[in-house]
Structure 1
Amino acid sequence: MPQPFEFCVPKAAKAVPVGADWLHEIKYDGYRARLVRAGDKVKLESKAGLDWTWRFPFIVETALKMRQTHFAIDGEIVVLDVRGISDFDALHSRRHDAEAQLYAFDLLAHDGDDLRDHPLHARKAQLGKLLRRQPEGIFVAPFEPGAIGPDLFVAACRMELEGIVSKHRERRYRPRTCDWIKVKNRKHPAMTREF
């Protein structure tokens, strides 16, 4: 298996960055994870280093069905409610482990190449190609480019979502100097969650 990568962790902010060079994603309320496939071996690991390969079989089975056999994906494990919104309580309950899916937002390695030095927009383009026509289990997390960020945040709050994460399209994947910015919906339950 490839060496694990250190996670890039967004910094909390009060305002969404504005400008054409930013990409904005919905912040899913789930568990952050890395999914690594090396040939016929797949590992799903939490941000804290827990091996979740056994816990979320749907994601692992989907990864094993993919044509590409060597990749490392950064994403969020979620369980969706009937509205299609991530439901942390359902995920945390352990009653829906077999239904959990991965919303992929970054591709860090592919076919033996370390992509962390590539700009974000290039990594996202490759992620889109890797997961094209992937019917279920692992999805590309949608994102919106440019000045729409503040309006997207208002819409996310109106829909009772956790918030958004904004990332500069030219940045490399640098965990210790990560410039990802998260702006949270202050009325969302995640603001007061203790675990």
Structure 2
Amino acid sequence: MPSTFEFCLPTKAATVPAGPDWLHEVKYDGYRLRVERDGDRVRLITRNGHNWTTRFPWIVEAARKVRQKQFVLDGEAVVLGLDGVSDFNALHSRKHDHEVQLCAFDLLSEGGDDLRKLPLHLRKANLDRLLARRPEGLFVNPFERGEIGPELFRAACRMGLEGIVSKHRERAYVGGRCRHWIKIKNRNHPAMEREL
């Protein structure tokens, strides 16, 4: 398993990229998290490099139930309300740590193979396969392809969601800020006030 991973960070934009080569995902409001499993050892690493393995036991338990014993996932730690919408205040309160699950959106390594050089659409296919028997506590972030992006963004805003992230389907996973992951935020969402 590769020893170091740097998170790929989206670039903010005001408009959704158009065209058939983009995949669009709803942005869940939570904490960015990398899940690293190597045999029985599971680690949860935050964007700032903190180890939160003991903080979110449901994610750790779910990762151990996956048949493949070696993988690295990129995703968002979230608390979901009954409506399926992520509740950042519940997450931040620390009162619901046992309910926190991972919304996985990328697979960086599997079975000792570094997948970051693969195009996104192949990493997504591998992620779907890896989590096909989805253990409770882990789920794959669904996405839409192509020109539907602007309509998906409008729908996300109507539902009071944080926004969407659009990603170029042919690009590799690159650490640091990149222009092939585009974040478009709902300007009326409370997350706008938390921006650094």
Fold shared by both chains (TM-score > 0.5) = yes
Cα distance in 2 for residues equivalent to 1:40 and 1:135 = 16
Gaps of 5+ in 2: none
Where does 1:161-172 land on structure 2 (aligned, <5 Å)?
Answer: 161-172=161-172
1:155 counterpart residue number? 155
- Contact preservation (8 Å) 2:24, 2:144: yes
The answer on 1:23 being equivalent to 2:23 is yes
| Structure 1 residue 65: Cα displacement | 1.4
CA RMSD in angstroms, aligned pairs only: 1.2
The separation in 1 between residues aligned to 2:36 and 2:51, in whole angstroms, is 11
Question: Is 1:55 the equivalent of 2:55?
Answer: yes
Q: What does the per-residue CA deviation read over 1:103-143, in whole Å, with 9 as the maximum and x for residues that have no partner?
A: 00000000010000000000000000000021411111010
Q: Which residue of 2 aligns with 1:193?
A: 194
Partner of 2:35: 35
Quote the offset at 1:4 in angstroms. 3.0
Which runs of structure 2 are paired with 1:1-195 in the superposition (5 Å)?
A: 2-176=2-176, 178=178, 179-193=180-194
Aligned length: 195
Q: SS at 1:192's partner residue?
A: helix
Helix, strand or coil for the counterpart of 1:50? coil
What fraction of aligned residue pairs are identical, expressed as a percent? 65
Please list every run of 5 or more consecutive structure 1 residues that lacks an aligned counterpart in the other structure.
none
TM-score, length-normalised on structure 1? 0.97
| Large movers: runs of 4+ above 6 Å | none
Q: Could you tell me whether the CA contact under 8 Å between 2:33 and 2:77 is conserved in 1? A: yes
Q: Give the whole-Å Cα distance in 1 for the aligned partners of 2:112 and 2:156.
A: 37
> Which letter does structure 1 place at the counterpart of 2:169?
R
Distance in 1, matches of 2:96 and 2:106, equals 25
Query: 1 or 2, which has the higher strand percentage?
Result: 2
Q: Say which SS state the counterpart of residue 180 (structure 1) adopts.
A: strand
Between the aligned partners of 2:43 and 2:176, the Cα distance in structure 1 is 24
